[in-house]
Amino acid sequence: MKPTPVQLMRTWEVKRRRVVVALSVMAAACLGGSWFLPWWTFRLFAPQYPKGLSLVIHLTGVQGDVAEIDTINHYIGMHSLADSALLERAASHWIVGLTAAAVVVLTFLAGRKLGWLGMVIGLGLPLGFVIDTTYWMYKSGHDLDDRAPITLKPFMPTVIGDGKVGQFLTEAWPAVGFWLAVTGVVLLAIATWQRARVCRVCPTHDECGTTCPHRLLGHPS
């Protein structure tokens, strides 16, 4: 017996719900996996450093030519890199882990009115990183020690792209961890779009509020 149009429609909607879940889980995996990878890279070039000096920013700290760059920064009154974003580094595993978990949980629990919340929470991770990094870059270039051997006017280091500080040319670009998190946000955006289509045809659409009574994969009558 051939399935009726209603049965075909229900089968298609079940598949679409599974797609939403799959996209959300993949997004959570991208967000969680980004914690293990570098998020930003900085390079400095000067005549005495023709090959350049590099910094690789992870959510847990900084790697690369840290000691050499700290020595240079000391001469112009900048604080040590190790003193920046201490709270954020210590809490990074909690922030990333809870963000990924919230994305998955909200996929099942959020109702029609909150179907967008998981994407917003996911977006907060890369966006928050950029805002926080910009703040610390601004602070490092403006909170200079007056007793430093070399006096510079307060400055804003370049967060992305090419820049210049004194005789140093700088480059700053997002790294693979940041782009992996952005990929997670894109997947969440697609999942949110699909979720809205699911909600529009759900039999309990009008009664649905902040939580999904069917936990998304249930079968509304």
Q: Which two tokens stand for residue 156?
A: 């804003």
In this structure, are residues 18 and 12 in contact, taking their beta carbons and an 8 Å threshold?
no
pLDDT higher than threshold 80 for residue 203: no
Confidence category of residue 199, pLDDT binned at 50, 70, 90: confident
Give me the residues paired with residue 174 across strands: 40
At how many degrees (to 10) do helices 5-33 and 117-142 cross? Answer: 20
pLDDT higher than threshold 90 for residue 197: no
* pLDDT for the residue numbered 83: 86
Q: Which class for 112: exposed (0-12), middle (13-18), buried (19 or more C-beta within 10 A)?
A: buried
CA separation for the pair 79, 136 (Å, rounded)? 11
pTM assigned to the model: 0.88
Confidence category of residue 9, pLDDT binned at 50, 70, 90: very low
Averaged pLDDT for residues 90-95:
96
Mean pLDDT of the chain: 87
* Domains along the sequence of the chain with CATH: 5-201 (1.20.140)
Residues with Cβ within 8 Å of 169's Cβ and at least 6 positions away in sequence, in order, are 44, 45, 46, 162, 163
CA separation for the pair 79, 74 (Å, rounded)? 7
% of the chain exceeding 70 in pLDDT = 86
